[in-house]
């Protein structure tokens, strides 16, 4: 009998790729969804469960060997009350862990955290490369980073006090890009979509540590399978990439094909001023001019994890957005023919 893995938030961008990776390696997958009408990959067992309710979680984990807790709220703008984001992240994580412990069958939980729980420090220009030994300073975190930090800390505290000692492994992804694979959309690929549509008229002084969602899915599986991974956290992210560099990759590939991606940079002072009048901009204020220096050396050495080239990730993200109709070239309604690499 194949091992059964519960994947939370089954309709999400990351979860869809995790599910595909698990199925490709012989696992039986059960996925939680919030709506009974949600469509998932063939062969995936679907159960209803919501992170904000206890209902359905005992049934969701029943008979499962492992859990991948991928689901977590991700804001499109800074919430008026940070607890609107923090509470479901922390409570939902603990709800999943309690159900896993009570199941009597779950051996390991892989939790999807974020480098936002690692690299937020008072000094935005801090040149130090952050590792899994680091934790974000809550006093300098915006709501999302605080929610990921507190949820991960709550998970480690729970496991430390758990009488059954369910194994916990945490993966800390960077900015997740890559093909949508049927997901309705994803907040994490918005930076690419907005640069292509010029909703962001020009790139900001904002750094990203990009990870391809396909490589991230492999990292989840490796974290599940590696005996030495129990009790560890793993950064899954590439090197620092500033948004102007991302824009140049898009401009090189798509300008002249019906798109006009700007490669100039909006000064951070202008963004801060505009954010006083445009609330969606406030979510990026904490990220302006902040270094994004992390290393995935531990995941590479202990899990054998690897990443594909950044250009491949960026182009595949953009091609997916075009194919799904989220961005459209000027003067055309259909998909732009894919150019050879």
CATH 3.40.50.720 for the 4-176+210-237 domain, yes or no: yes
Residue 146 phi/psi, 5-degree rounding, is -65, -40
Distance from C-alpha of 308 to C-alpha of 314, rounded to nearest angstrom: 11
Torsion 109-113-118-122 (CA) sign: negative
pLDDT at position 159 = 95
pLDDT at position 268 = 94
Distance from C-alpha of 106 to C-alpha of 1, rounded to nearest angstrom: 15
Question: What's the chain's Rg over C-alpha atoms?
Answer: 20
**Within 10 Å of residue 162's Cβ, how many Cβ atoms?**
14
Residue 5 bridge partners (DSSP): 29, 66
Question: Is residue 73 classed as helix, strand or coil in its secondary structure?
Answer: coil
pLDDT at position 76 = 61
Distance from C-alpha of 293 to C-alpha of 180, rounded to nearest angstrom: 26
Going residue by residue through the chain, which has 341 residues, state the pLDDT in tens, using 9 for 90 and above.
899 999 999 999 999 999 999 999 999 999 999 876 666 878 999 999 999 999 999 999 999 999 999 988 776 666 778 898 899 999 999 999 999 999 999 999 999 999 999 999 888 888 899 999 999 999 999 889 999 999 999 999 999 998 777 999 999 999 999 999 877 678 889 999 999 999 999 999 999 999 999 999 999 999 999 999 999 999 999 999 999 999 999 999 999 999 999 999 999 999 999 888 877 777 788 789 999 999 999 999 999 999 999 999 999 999 999 999 999 998 654 444 444 33
pLDDT at position 341 = 33
pLDDT at position 186 = 84
Q: Name the active-site residue from 107, 146, 148, 187.
A: 148
Q: Model-level pTM?
A: 0.92
Whole-Å CA distances, 135 to 130, 150, 233, 302, 332: 9, 10, 11, 21, 47
Check if 146 is active-site: no
Element (H, E) at 31: strand 28-33
Element (H, E) at 69: strand 66-69
- Sheet with 207-212, edge to edge strand ranges: 175-177, 207-212, 240-242
Cα dihedral value 249, 250, 256, 261, nearest 10: -120
Distance from C-alpha of 193 to C-alpha of 286, rounded to nearest angstrom: 21
Distance from C-alpha of 286 to C-alpha of 302, rounded to nearest angstrom: 32
């Amino acid at each position: 009998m194949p091992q059964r893995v519960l994947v939370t938030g089954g309709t999400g961008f990351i979860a869809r790729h995790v599910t595909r990776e698990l199925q490709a390696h012989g696992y039986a997958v059960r996925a939680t969804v919030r709506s009974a009408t949600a469509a998932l990959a063939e062969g995936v067992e679907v159960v209803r469960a919501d992170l904000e309710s206890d209902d359905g979680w005992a049934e969701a984990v029943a008979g499962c060997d492992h859990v991948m807790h991928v689901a977590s709220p991700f804001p499109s703008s800074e919430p008026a009350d940070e607890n609107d984001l923090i509470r479901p992240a922390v409570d939902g994580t603990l709800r999943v862990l309690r159900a896993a412990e009570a199941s009597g069958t779950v051996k390991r939980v892989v939790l999807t955290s974020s480098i936002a729980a690692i690299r937020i420090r008072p000094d935005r220009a801090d040149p130090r490369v952050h590792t899994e030994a680091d934790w974000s300073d809550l006093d300098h975190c915006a709501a999302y980073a605080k929610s990921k930090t507190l949820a991960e800390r709550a998970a480690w505290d729970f496991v430390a006090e758990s009488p059954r000692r369910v194994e916990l492994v945490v993966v800390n992804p960077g900015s997740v890009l890559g093909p949508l694979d049927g997901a309705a959309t994803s907040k994490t690929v918005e930076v690419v979509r907005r640069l292509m549509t010029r909703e962001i008229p020009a790139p900001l002084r904002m750094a990203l540590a990009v990870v391809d969602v396909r490589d991230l899915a492999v990292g989840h599986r490796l974290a599940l399978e590696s005996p030495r991974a129990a009790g560890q956290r793993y950064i899954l992210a590439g090197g620092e990439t500033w948004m102007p560099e991302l824009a140049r990759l898009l401009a090189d590939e798509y300008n002249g094909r019906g798109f006009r991606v700007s490669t100039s940079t909006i000064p951070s002072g202008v963004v801060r001023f505009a954010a006083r009048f445009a609330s969606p901009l406030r979510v990026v204020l904490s990220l302006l001019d902040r270094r994004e220096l992390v290393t995935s050396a531990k995941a590479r050495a202990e899990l054998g994890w690897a990443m594909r080239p950044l250009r491949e990730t960026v182009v595949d993200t953009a091609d997916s957005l075009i194919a799904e109709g989220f961005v459209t070239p000027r003067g055309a309604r259909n998909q732009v023919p894919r150019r050879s690499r």
